[in-house]
Structure 1
Amino acid sequence: MSEVAGAPESVPDPGPPAVRRSGRTTLLIAAAAVLGVVAGTCTGYVIQAGRRPTPLPPLSQPVLAQAKGKGPEPLSAAQDRRVRTDGDLRAFLLKRPSGAQDPLFEPGHDGWMSLAEYAETFKKPANEFKYEIGAEFRRAAVTAWRLDDTYSVEIRLVQYRQEERLAAADSAENGRYWAEREAGSRSWAIPGTGDGRAYVHTRPDTESGVSVYSAEAHARRGDIAMEIWIYDTKPISKEKVMDLAKRQVGRL
């Protein structure tokens, strides 16, 4: 990107995220990409640089009388979602269903994924590591299980600090963007999430020589991005992914 004379200095953008792997299965690792959008920011700087400066208001301002009476009562810990999720994030993950088996590959350690471990789920870990630092990655909780030799589930709750940007919303949006570009995809809104969606991919991945079907869900609640990945050698129904998505969102 070329420099524009007179343009204000900007905070360096962390750059686009690396190509994301959508999860591990017993048969293959299916890949998806996450793309960061920087063009809009650059365009804004160019437009601002060409405008005349806006006159500043006078320093002296009228004194405003302070309102009387008590202010609104602060939210309780149960009502304040930010306070609720400042504790053990693993407590908000769905519990493994009865009879579920351990995954062949246990993601993270003790239900946590470090930044390095989360970045390793991408095809370009070094690029993703750098991107997540710029996105103010805070922590990630994860759970996974198998119900038989082929059906597997992985759920991640990725939490961001969100002091400079709404990274959880960006993460969920990127997940939806690429899920919708999978061939043979069908999607449905997840109730209670605003823009969260669940996806079933009706065309299997045959790269490994075995047909593997997948489904996924992406949503966010406050500073947390939710990712759900399902794989099976048989087609996955809407009911399965929607049930997981609705129950997981309900815990946040």
Structure 2
Amino acid sequence: MNSSTRIRQGAAGILLFVIGILMSLVLHRPAPEHLREFSMERLLRTSLLPVGQTMYIWGGGWNQEDAGAGREAVTLGVSKRWAEYAARQTETYDFDKTRYQSHDGLDCSGYIGWLLYNVFHTRNGETGYVTGASKMARACAARSWGYLVQGDYKPGDICSMEGHVWMSLGRCMDGSVLLVHASPPGVRICGTYLDDGAKSEAVKLAEQVMQKQYPAWYARHPECGVGYFYLEDSVSMRWYTDEETDPCHLQEMQAEDVVHFLYPDM
């Protein structure tokens, strides 16, 4: 065998080796995740599923390492365990005594992470979205889902502040904002008080919704107001929408209209 033949055979061997590596990478690459198109209506309706039946648990929705989404936050639907645990609680529920019972409920980041997963995914166990509360709005914008705004709140806005994240359900005529979040004692609809501390239209609307739609919860946990500082301290991610993703123009509705859309009997 002459030298040129040996060179050709060596080159062919190297080529086959490289092809083998490339085929291995292709065959073992992660399966594509099963994502679907964003829908404003799906976002709003899905956000209500845990309301009135899920307690606030510090670390709920996070993994054991407290570094990202736990099992429940990458699972479709509401965990049966959340409702069972919530049904056993009374008006004296103290979240400080339930820290890191991570399978029994959700904290604020766990709730929004669970919500986003259920909006986009069609299978369990794929990549989750749970991250620090103050970072979540910016993390959503970084995915090119929307853009950042401050001082203005529309339905569906993901709103981050120091130590908390929540979702806007729209403004009322007096400027107050209706919202949904996981905050002690649990996942509930609230309204922001006015800047002078007076009860706002949003707080009254939240009370009406919680009392009518979630009477057992409201009987134990009637508080439906949050401080005006929510509106001063938050940065929000506003979704990019069009006629396909928001054909009902929910993003442009006032809070009262959103409530009537989501709860036709209100």
Give the TM-score range, shorter chain.
under 0.3
Q: TM-score scaled to structure 2, two decimals?
A: 0.24
Which protein is richer in strand relative to its size? 1
Structure with more of its chain in helix, by fraction: 2
Larger radius of gyration: 2
